[in-house]
Amino acid sequence: MSALRAKLDALIAQTSLEVSDKQRQQLVGYVELLHKWNKAYNLTSVRDPLEMLVKHILDSIVVSPHLRGERFIDVGTGPGLPGIPLAIMNPDKSFFLLDSLGKRIRFLKQVVHELGIHNVTPVQSRVEAFQPDENFDGVLSRAFASMTDMVEWCHHLPKTDHGVFLALKGQHPKDEIDQLPDWCSVTEIISLTVPELEGDRHLVILSRKE
């Protein structure tokens, strides 16, 4: 067994997540591709694949139990975070991964092809210009500058009746919450536990006010 797989198994064992052997293989395969392409494409500042398991994989998949619905979009996905790990964890849900940079989309297409991931659609577009055929149950973001920017730029993406914004944040973002526009409200803030990750992690769920 590879060192990456052993490390991933040890990390997952510290959570209550159920992850099949195939999913674990795909998650390790994704880290290997990220590490390989990172040398030329500079996709992430994290250089060590073992560190990627904590900071990218576990940090993404801990959100999995909180996904409600079938159709999601990861805006500003970068190299596919949290979209690729969440798609691997939820093969019955569909994920659109949106980024404006061509090199990132090329990488994502390669990942989807090599790992046999059938529920991901990479899209090269600026988020405010993207007009989907159908709106989304959840709009995910891990790297947006602020939640205000996220909801303003992505306001056209969630389903009008029950769609939500899911913002992955570090420490409790009280200042950002105070600055949200009037039409948007926080429905839940979930404290996330990521094994071996220093610092706080929170998932902020936002929706349109009724």
As annotated, the binding site for S-adenosyl-L-methionine includes 76, 81, 127-128, 142
Binding residues: 76, 81, 127-128, 142
Q: Biggest alpha carbon distance in the chain? A: 52
Alpha helices in 17-138 (DSSP H): 21-41, 49-52, 59-61, 83-89, 102-115
Q: How many residues does the chain have?
A: 210
Do strands 164-169 and 138-141 pair parallel, antiparallel, or not at all (unpaired)? Answer: parallel
Determine whether 198 is exposed, middle or buried from the number of CB atoms within 10 Å of its CB (0-12, 13-18, 19+).
Answer: exposed
Strand duo 71-75 + 164-169: pairing = unpaired
Task: Compute the distance between CA of residue 210 and CA of residue 206 in angstroms, rounded to an integer.
Answer: 12
Q: Which two tokens stand for residue 59?
A: 């940090």
187: left (phi over 0), alpha (psi -120 to 50) or beta: alpha
Would you tell me how many other CB atoms lie within 10 Å of the CB of residue 131?
Answer: 8
CB 56 within 8 A of CB 34: yes
Structure tokens belonging to residue 71 = 């159709």
